[in-house]
Structure 1
Amino acid sequence: MRAPGREIELRWGRGTVPCPVEEGWDVLLPPAGEAAGEAEELFLAAAGEPAGCAPLADMLEGARTVTVVVSDATRKTGFHRYSHLLRKLIEDAGARDVRTLVAVGTHRPPTAEEVRAITGPGWFEEGVEAHDCDASPFAALGVTSRGTPVEVNRAAVECDLLVLTGEAKYHYFAGFGGGRKAVLPGVSSRASITANHSLSFLGPEAENAALGRLEGNPVHEDMDEALEMLPVPVFLVNAITAADGRVLEVHAGDAREAFLAACEAVRRRFDAPIPRRYRTVIASAGGYPADINPTQSHKSFDFASRALEEGGTLVLAAAMPDEGGLSTLAEWLALPDRREHVRRMEESFTIGGRTALAWRDKLERAGEVWLVSSLDERATASLGMRKARSVAEALERAAVRPPVAVMPFASLTNPVVRA
């Protein structure tokens, strides 16, 4: 039995799970800080005094057709908190045709209930379309300097103004999410997405495709180049959100300038200094939607691994009620070793294979990884992990060695070693 100590609740899906915390263990929290104001006032201020372009009301003037791109259910963007204000700006400008594109990339389409949760009760009910990377009508805009065909949903280019919304956050190979990702991968074809994401694996620049890096990152620069090919005016609205969904900041304006400002806010709010790496890390993705499926839970797995010593023990609490990505991950992880995995990727790159390779690398670096999820024992094993029914059970069965860190919001906590 473990020595008695205090207990904290970790978010898990739409509920919580208890986690024992013993004396001497560190609890790593992002320094997110307080919101700069209410979501509505933050949006209005950012839209009224944007970075690098005219105010949104001026951009909307004379626009008869407006397309608004929103994120899918795997993102917590806070759009629903200010969508009614954006609608009013659009209606006040006299736009006659408003289309809403849900930027799903290669993800599954959202359910009707998810769309309502994403857009909020004050949004337009008509003209909402989930992007389909295989079947949507595409406009071919050209080819980037790195060879990516830029094929974008026609609704994003057949308009007088394109409004991109979303959330800026860290991304493990694009550097940051948000900004240009609303277009590529958000509303692009599978061929475009695959070619872009392959830059994180193939070619001499691949090692620069890293979390928090933009300069020299081939994935980011390729996305940015695709954004520049859009033949219509673009206005960006990116929020910075807390683990509980509160909007902390809103950055708006020119798609490049506003995005870079948002990235700096992400560094300021979510870098968590640590004195050294830990031999044991207990991490929660932070609940829904960060742990909606294995693919999304991978981001928390990645952050937790950054805090872990090589050969250490990691316990990941991620509900994964949706098995999205499970079969693809399992198929790639069933290959005998990394060498064969890489060989097959070099023969035929796939997005799922790229995620699986990153997953494999973290498994091989850790000594043991325990998963507290809704997946059964067989599915858990197919991910290279050991199943535990609770965090307490994982700690009883695992090799828990100090120093120990607990990460209650791993999806938003970037551990940075600073002596």
Structure 2
Amino acid sequence: MTRRPDSHAPGRSAVVRRPRHSVSERPFLVIWEATRACPLACLHCRAAAQTARHPEELDGADARRVMDQVAAFGTPAPLFVITGGDPFQRADLTDLVAYGTGLGLRVAVSPSGTPTLTRENLAAVREAGAVALSLSLDGSTAERHDAFRGVPGVFDRTLDGWRAARELGLKVQVNTTVTRDSLEDLADIAELVRREGALLWSGFVLVPVGRGEQLASLTAAETEDVLHFLHDCGTVLATKTTEGHHFRRVALQRRILDAHAEQPRLGPLYTRLHERAAALGFFDGERRTARRPPMDVSSGRGFVFVSHTGEVHPSGFLPVSAGNVKNHPLSDIYRGSALFTKLRDPSLLRGRCGACEFKAVCGGSRSRAYGFTGDVLEADPYCAYEPGSFPYQQELRALTESMTR
């Protein structure tokens, strides 16, 4: 196989990052679903968004109480992301951003590519204190992206909003849903993200929830190829995954294999994606001085999701509630609920995830395990790795042990 872009030499940088505080005590990331109202009809929408706001949606006072509870976790406070639906459908969004910022929270906003994604609205949330913006790009062309989002004009609005956000000083994360229909377009999307400029590119490995239940599943082998392609892209773009927790396994494996001048055995999809990216000149541009190590957080373990009605979930893609912020403090739910505590114990994992030597740093997607089996502790069906098959187990143990020092 042709030699791929090199990782940095072992020991020169972290392979996987871990929060500096105990994830059993406080989350690294809190996402609040401000509303499910959204005029788009995205094929994958976990929220099955509607055009009107829900009558039981958290009001402004409820939302401020949630932010008070997030701030109460301590310093450094979790990153607080306001998502939807389309959060710009809330008239009080700017006031809520300002309130969270006043509490010392780092606030990010994740809008949809609707007519509300204007420079004026972006400037308002920036002025209120928002530090980052998350946008979705699911196709490299208007035809591809708008077909996925269900409404014409979304692609152009997204690009316009993206450019305006960067000009306003907002950090921009671009999210791409990895579906069967988008697989062959991923290299072109990567080149578009590189060309337009983004702080981070995230590949969302689909979870069958909401409207996403109607989309065709990837195979485990295809997922593996995608994760390794995203790893390659990390030499040019800062990359991460959403619900692709085995990207951390890939990062560890590739660090060790690179030290041995070896490549993993991958499938034809990986070859096509890499060759397409090379043909586009993706790898010819300026390289990053260091890869962005993936962060070791997952459902209920450094991550918590608060729904539009206040239900607390380990992830927005895991529709099992551990309580409601209207009745119990978020900190009590996160620290003490049976659902969250068992998700933080890798010894409870079942199937191949339970037998895997990477389970403490990967653990698989608990959302996808639940979506396919109804059991949050079962194996992630999108993982192709056979436990114990990595050839350099001693070096792997040394590398993973170094992460906990």
TM-score in same-fold range (> 0.5): no
TM bracket (short chain): under 0.3
Q: TM-score if structure 1 supplies the norm length?
A: 0.25
Q: Which has the higher strand share?
A: 1
**Structure with more helix by fraction:** 2
- TM-score by structure 2 length? 0.26
